[in-house]
Amino acid sequence: MANETVATGQRTQLKMTVNGKPVDVEIESREMLLDVVRDRLGLTGAKRSCDLQVCGVCTLLVDGIPVSSCCTLAYEADGKSVETVEGLARFGDLHPIQQSFIDKGALQCGFCTSGMMLATKALLAENPHPTVDEIKHGLAGNICRCTGYWNIIEAVEESARRLATENGGGE
Amino acid sequence: MTSNTESSYTTIGHDVPRVDARAKATGAVIYAGDMKLPGMLYGRILRSPYAHARIKRIDTKLAKALPGVHTVLIGEDVLDINPYYGHAIKDRPLIAIDKVRFVGEPVVAVAAESPAIADEALTLIDVDYEELPLAVTLDAALADGAPRLHITELLKSGLFHGLGEMKPQPGNVCYHHAFARGDSDDLFASADIVVEGDYIFPAIFQYAMEPHTTIAQWGANMDEIHIWSSCQHPFLVRAEIADLFGLPVGSVRISVPYLGGGFGSKSYTKMEPITTALARKAKRPVRIANSVDEAMVTTRRHGMKAWMRTAARSDGTLLAREVRAWFDTGAYADNGPRVVATGADAAPGPYRWQAVKVDAWGVYTNTSPAGSYRAFGATHLQWCGESQVDEIGRQCGLDAIQMREKNLLTPGEYVRPGGKPLDADLIGDIRLVAKNLGWDTPKPANVGRGVSVGLLAAGAHPVSTAFARMEADGHVTLYVSSTEVGQGARTVFSQIVAEELGMSVDHVKVIGGDTQITPYDRSTGASRSTTLAGLAVQRAARELRAQVLEIAARVFDLPETAFDIREGQVWHEGESKSFPELIRVHFGMVGGELMGRGEVRPEKGSGSYAEGPVFWEVCIGGIEIEVDRETGKLTIRKAASVADVGRALNPRMVEAQEMGGIMQGLGNAIYEEMIYDDTGQLINSTLFDYHIPTFEDLPDAFASTIVENEDGPGPYGAKGIGEGSLAGATAAVVTALADLGITINELPVTPERVWRAMNRTTD
Amino acid sequence: MLDHLTIHEPKSVMEASSLLTEFGSDAAIYAGGTELLVVMKERLIHFPHLINIKTIPGLDSISLDGDSISIGALATHRAIERSALVREHLPLLAELEANVANVRVRSTGTIGGNLCFAEPHSDPATLLMAWDASVVLQSSNSRREIPLSEFFTGLLETSRGQDEVLTAVRIPHPVPVGSAYERFKIHERPTATVAVTLSLSGDMVTGARIVVGSVCDRPVRIRAAEESLIGLSTVRAAEVAAAIVHDEIDPTEDNFESTDYKRHLARVLTTRAIAIATARASGGHRG
């Protein structure tokens, strides 16, 4: 190349943390984060459905921000912290969001669930006590074809209550 | 949600948490797309860009030469078998042979070391087509001289459809279902009121979040097949695969992981034949996973057009109904015939007619094949008939509830001759829906209320089996082939076993469908799992219970009636023995198991479609809408429903089916429509242009009631649920609009259609 | 899977511009990728060279410089929604950004990417154009600023030169108090959007901007409607302007809504937006 700009080449090194653990893999620059997480790391909780960032089943948190991992180059996770559903439980204890989804019947086939819970985690991190309208708006990008959504709203409200109690009122 | 009876059972009737909830909430559940077999190849399919064409030449040379490409499959490779399948009509080649009949039909399948290489291989394949004249729409397919998709005279019946003899039909008709009784001509001629209309219902995509995914692997001697597939009916798929590849059914094993939704989109055989054929040539396991746009050309709901008229007296008594309906089944029949039959049955609605005349046809068109989708038939026609009932009511001064109180059938009356009489209190149900909707409260301006009630012939064919195995530690392993699609079947079955054996749900383990291990169940669909598979489970558990009591009787030297079973123990007056203790006595050692078997089969006759249904599912709904008079946009203020389930084994899961069904019903009514251009190409094949309801489309309020009249044939008086709320919601949206004076005869009721209807009215 | 590609990491706009020149049509500017990666996945186009401008410092800042507010091209929809400055001075824009697409697109997609991709249904351009916003385009040897109304040249087309990088959007400050934005959305992207600004003297209109978006191949200012309002009483403004909007626009034909209906929506939204803008202009609420 004529200039000295850094470029990845068709392959590049990806160093990130996933659920708190360091990961160092060589990837193709064209690979999406969803495929690296599912196929390379075996974390199959995140799913592929619409593949065009509309449905949300591929939602992952990158530095706490929800992204459509089907349309996010894995390269973007370099130097960042990625959370998947497999990282929600802590030392075998379910995360309050997971427990709330179970208790409120907020899942049926389960295919949208990991994305839905991660989206919930991001929502509650910046709005610990959302109204029903705020929940609907925050999760509008996560589609569920089974539940009809009401139980999910209740699960998010329950999650907010549990997290507030846990954190003594704020995170 | 409220129920009208308190549960006197230990687990039945209680909101037992889903047994698979933790696995799903931790990402531990394996779906077919999460599986990796050693040596597995990734399959991708090259699909036809033309809706009707002859294949002249396929050049796969460059694709085969691409490093990492292992196998390429074309039609020629499957001419050693009879490659045609179809459970109703064997009209479908597992891969295109000489012709393609819809845009998206598989023409070439490639298996490669990675999905990326398979994708690249597709771009290197060259196919020459000779385009043929098209029949993309119902009208085009039915027109005189229309190009024929099939030589229907040469088609053979499929292995199972339950519809009796399937006679070849003319032109592009694939199936005709008709019935009539009474003298409708006479009644129409003399009626005070006749309402008539033409109706259009769109093609709709089921959109289960998980697209179809199938893995196939042949045994080393090429005489056994193992398939893992996202399929709802593993035994029916097994039979078709065995038939296609000439193997005994026991040599074909279908294992079903959890499904990411079904709704009928994974009913019957879908991607299994082509995956199996590719794996046969590759001699390695192959996985094919549809993308969503591929799933949209794999299955869909039938589009339909219908003509209907209803005759009545001026006092609101319904007299007669005539219906003609044409269902667009696409290029291959799939479940078309049953959809047509069920639609025909649903068309009259649950009313007391003096005469009925129904003709329904399934028609081949050059579009993707249509198959099952939740509440098929009822969703197609209930909105038409209910609109006409309401219109008659308006003409004679009766409101929607009064019309229905006057004309609805009551339990025991015949819905159709020779079939099962009505088994639900519909008048009670409609009154409850009205109450839940706030029927008598004042309505603000621009707000309309509508209700709707119909029936769906449910249960499919009543054959189910279950094995209940009591392990040496007293726990029970349950073998039943219902597919867990999200509906909670495994949870309900666990509850039944726990109830019958007086034990904890936590000590019951359900083994998922695997045709080599779990016994025959006809299918998962038609709202039949709790009612029929659940009945088999109950019988299996009762057989286990009988064995346990028989052992206890010997041990205690008392009659079997002297005992009580609870907490995993057998009790007699304060003394008890645990299940493991009884088993130890029975076998004289630690270890050993008891096995109970439960079977369900037709109680009289052959269980055919005509003799049934197993039960009538109540399709009922109430909707309150507000319309923006300037733009035609609708807001759903309230959705009301009634779950007439006989007995709610798990009330919260019943309610969950209601809510999910309502949202799909709103989708079918307001947002969803597959749009084809005149070359047969599906235009809106992504979620950018096909709207699935989201959180922001929720009704503002939701009110639902469970009705438990113990009038079902299932365990504890249960009957199935899951579909009625969809058909009921779709129809109630239309009747609510009519309440506002907005008549629309074409779904979905997009804002533009509402706007045009409003302008027609004011013109 | 996409075809192979290389991701370049320029540290300055000059470097980015040189790379664009070097690789020509094989290169695309890559920021959030929310539009770019989707069209590449759909196989409509492929770029073997992605010029990742997120590695250029300073392109995401939002600042008030005297008589204009500058929003860096790399500001995400989410950042704009949350910016204290935007909330204070451009609350309508904050509200608009809060409703773009979904939360994941908002977290990743940038205003620069949105404007350069020029998707005809996208929101922000409609409002920004009504505020007479301009875009700053830089290359290795040039810098120019052009009004948004001259930036969109056709369907998915802008006047950005092949070697230019859009670095900022500038909005004249303060924006008219009488600003309003109305949107009609039933699909994933809006079907119709209208942005209106009104300046009043008493109940007489002294200035107006009317922009219709999502209906045609790009957002359009309806100058005839704007001119019709000057000197007109607010009582008649909505009716007069909306009728002109209805007749003037040339909606794109598609398979979802008819052009008649789109015209109708534009008229309805214009009427509503003018009513709201009037109320704000009279009542002194910030637009």
What's the CATH fold of domain C178-281? Enolase-like; domain 1 (3.30.390)
- Partners of C189 on chain B (C-beta within 8 Å) are 688
Cβ-based neighbours of C236, under 8 Å, separated by 6 or more: none
The answer to whether the Cβ–Cβ distance between C186 and B689 falls below 8 Å is: no
Type of residue at B188: F
End-to-end, the C-alpha distance of chain A in Å comes to 48
Residues B422 and B615: beta-carbon distance below 8 Å: no
Residues C182 and C166: beta-carbon distance below 8 Å: no
Task: Count other Cβ atoms within 10 Å, centred on residue C284.
Answer: 8
Which of B302, B141, B136, B107 lies closest to B206 in space, CA to CA? B302
Interface probe, candidates C193, C253, C256, C270, chain B, greatest B C-beta count within 10 A = C256
Quick: pLDDT tens for C244-259: 999 999 999 999 999 9
Burial C249-273 (b: 16+ CB within 10 A, else e): bebbeeebbeeebbbbbbbbbbbbb
Residue A5, domain member (yes or no):
no
Of A70, A87, A104, the last residue of a domain is A87
Separation between Cα atoms, residue B351 and residue B357, nearest integer Å = 14
3-state secondary structure of C190: coil
| Whether A124 and A67 share a structural domain | no
Quick: pLDDT tens for B317-362: 999 999 999 999 999 999 999 999 999 999 999 999 999 999 999 9
Residue A171, domain member (yes or no):
no
Write down the residue that tokens 């950004």 correspond to.
C97
Quick: pLDDT tens for C80-120: 999 999 999 999 999 999 999 999 999 999 999 999 999 99
Task: Count other Cβ atoms within 10 Å, centred on residue B518.
Answer: 23
Q: What angle do the packed helices A150-166 and A96-103 form, to 10 degrees?
A: 140
Please give the torsion angle defined by the CA atoms of residues C26, C30, C33 and C38, in that order, rounded to the nearest 10 degrees: 0
pTM check: above 0.80: yes
Checking if the pLDDT of C198 tops 60, the result is yes
Task: Give the pLDDT mean for B223-239.
Answer: 97
Model pLDDT, residue B604: 79
Q: Number of structural domains, chain A?
A: 2
Quick: pLDDT tens for C203-223: 999 999 999 999 999 999 999
| Whether A65 and A118 share a structural domain | no
3-state secondary structure of B96: coil
Separation between Cα atoms, residue B302 and residue B308, nearest integer Å = 18
Question: Which residues of chain A fall short of a pLDDT of 70?
Answer: 1-5, 169-171
Query: How far lies B99's CA from each of B331, B363, B505, in Å?
Result: 11, 19, 53
Residues of C with a Cβ under 8 Å from any B Cβ are 1, 3, 42, 184, 186-189, 255-258, 261, 264-265, 268
| Whether A80 and A100 share a structural domain | no
Is the CATH code 1.20.1600.10 the one for domain C62-172?
no
ipTM above 0.90, yes or no: yes
Write down the residue that tokens 């052992």 correspond to.
B551
Of A87, A110, A135, the last residue of a domain is A87
| Whether A21 and A65 share a structural domain | yes
Q: Is A66 on the interface with C (CB under 8 A)?
A: yes
Q: What angle do the packed helices B579-587 and B534-556 form, to 10 degrees?
A: 70
- Partners of B34 on chain A (C-beta within 8 Å) are 38, 44
Q: What is the CATH number of the domain that holds A109?
A: 1.10.150.120
Model pLDDT, residue C171: 98
Beta strands in chain C (DSSP E): 6-9, 27-30, 49-52, 62-65, 68-72, 134-139, 142-147, 152-154, 157-158, 165-172, 178-184, 192-201, 204-213, 220-221
Q: How confident is the model at residue C286 (pLDDT cuts 50, 70, 90)?
A: very low
Separation between Cα atoms, residue C96 and residue B65, nearest integer Å = 52
Checking if the pLDDT of B610 tops 80, the result is no
Q: Quick one: DSSP state of residue B530?
A: I
**Sheet hosting strand B193-201, strand order edge to edge:** B173-181, B355-364, B318-330, B303-312, B193-201
Of A87, A122, A144, the last residue of a domain is A87
Residue A115, domain member (yes or no):
yes
Residue A112, domain member (yes or no):
yes
Checking if the pLDDT of B285 tops 90, the result is yes
Burial B546-582 (b: 16+ CB within 10 A, else e): ebbbebbbeebeeebeebebeebbbbeeeebbebbbb
Residue A110 half-sphere exposure toward CB, CA atoms < 13 A: 26
Residues C19 and C164: beta-carbon distance below 8 Å: no
Separation between Cα atoms, residue C271 and residue C249, nearest integer Å = 15
Checking if the pLDDT of B4 tops 70, the result is no
Interface probe, candidates C183, C262, C265, C271, chain B, greatest B C-beta count within 10 A = C265
Q: What angle do the packed helices B724-739 and B378-396 form, to 10 degrees?
A: 30
Model pLDDT, residue A4: 60
Write down the residue that tokens 């499929």 correspond to.
B158
Quick: pLDDT tens for A8-42: 899 999 999 999 999 999 999 999 999 999 999 99
Domain spans of chain C, in order of start: 6-53, 62-172, 178-281
Type of residue at B692: I
- Partners of A113 on chain B (C-beta within 8 Å) are 24-25
Helices (H), ranges, B440-519: 489-500
Residue A2, domain member (yes or no):
no
Interface probe, candidates C187, C194, C259, chain B, greatest B C-beta count within 10 A = C187
Please give the torsion angle defined by the CA atoms of residues C154, C157, C161 and C166, in that order, rounded to the nearest 10 degrees: 120
All partners of chain B with 3 or more CB pairs under 8 angstroms: A, C
Q: Quick one: DSSP state of residue B78?
A: G
Report the DSSP pairing between strands B569-572 and A11-18.
unpaired
Checking if the pLDDT of B5 tops 80, the result is no
Residues C6-53, CATH architecture: 2-Layer Sandwich (3.30)
Q: How many helices (H) and strands (E) does chain B have?
A: 18, 29
Which of B688, A142, A139, B751 lies closest to C188 in space, CA to CA? B688
Cβ-based neighbours of C89, under 8 Å, separated by 6 or more: C64, C69, C173, C174, C175, C286
Q: Which residues span the domain enclosing A15? A: 11-87
Separation between Cα atoms, residue B337 and residue B416, nearest integer Å = 18
Cβ-based neighbours of B73, under 8 Å, separated by 6 or more: B95, B108, B109, B110, B111, B274, B277, B278, B281
Model pLDDT, residue C283: 82
The answer to whether the Cβ–Cβ distance between B22 and A102 falls below 8 Å is: yes
Separation between Cα atoms, residue B756 and residue C226, nearest integer Å = 29
Write down the residue that tokens 């809504």 correspond to.
C257
3-state secondary structure of B357: strand
Closest residue on chain A to B686 (Cα): A50
Report the DSSP pairing between strands B701-707 and B2-3.
parallel
Model pLDDT, residue A170: 45
Task: Give the pLDDT mean for B62-89.
Answer: 97
Interface of A with B in 59-78 (CB under 8 A): none
Q: What is the CATH number of the domain that holds A18?
A: 3.10.20.30
Query: How many CB pairs below 8 A link A and C?
Result: 93
Interface probe, candidates A3, A30, A78, A142, chain C, greatest C C-beta count within 10 A = A30
Model pLDDT, residue B159: 85
Closest residue on chain B to A147 (Cα): B660
- Partners of A110 on chain B (C-beta within 8 Å) are 20, 23-25, 29, 258, 260, 486
Model pLDDT, residue C284: 55
Residue A144, domain member (yes or no):
yes
Which pair of structure tokens corresponds to residue B234? 């593993």
Model pLDDT, residue A16: 98
3-state secondary structure B598-615: EEECCCCCCCCCCCCCCE
Which of B219, B212, B329, B367 lies closest to B274 in space, CA to CA? B212
Residue B599 half-sphere exposure toward CB, CA atoms < 13 A: 4
Q: What angle do the packed helices B489-500 and B534-556 form, to 10 degrees?
A: 20
| Whether A113 and A81 share a structural domain | no
Total residues belonging to chain A: 171
Query: How far lies B759's CA from each of B529, B742, B763, C261, in Å?
Result: 47, 9, 6, 12
Please, what are the domains in chain B?
2-29+463-600 (3.30.365.10), 32-134+211-258+265-295 (3.90.1170.50), 373-459+612-762 (3.30.365.10)
Type of residue at C233: S
| Whether A49 and A104 share a structural domain | no
Separation between Cα atoms, residue B557 and residue B164, nearest integer Å = 54
All partners of chain C with 3 or more CB pairs under 8 angstroms: A, B
Q: How confident is the model at residue B1 (pLDDT cuts 50, 70, 90)?
A: very low
Taking the CA atoms of chain C, what radius of gyration do you get in angstroms? 19
Shortest CB distance from C186 goes to which of B115, B120, B691? Answer: B691
State what percent of residues in chain A have pLDDT above 70.
Answer: 95
Separation between Cα atoms, residue B381 and residue B390, nearest integer Å = 15
- Helix or strand (DSSP H, E) at C23: helix C13-23
Strand partners for B564: B571
Q: Is B291 on the interface with A (CB under 8 A)?
A: yes
Report DSSP letters for A10-52, one per residue: SEEEEEEEETTEEEEEEEETT-BHHHIIIIIS--TTS--SSSS
Task: Count other Cβ atoms within 10 Å, centred on residue B277.
Answer: 24
Model pLDDT, residue B3: 53
Which of A86, A118, A99 lies closest to A159 in space, CA to CA? A99
Separation between Cα atoms, residue B663 and residue B657, nearest integer Å = 10
3-state secondary structure of B416: coil
Checking if the pLDDT of B551 tops 90, the result is yes
Q: How confident is the model at residue B761 (pLDDT cuts 50, 70, 90)?
A: low
Query: How many CB pairs below 8 A link B and C?
Result: 40
Separation between Cα atoms, residue B65 and residue B72, nearest integer Å = 10
Closest residue on chain B to A143 (Cα): B694
Checking if the pLDDT of B234 tops 50, the result is yes
Sign, CA dihedral C60-C61-C66-C67, equals: positive
The answer to whether the Cβ–Cβ distance between C1 and B671 falls below 8 Å is: no
Cβ-based neighbours of A162, under 8 Å, separated by 6 or more: A96, A99, A100
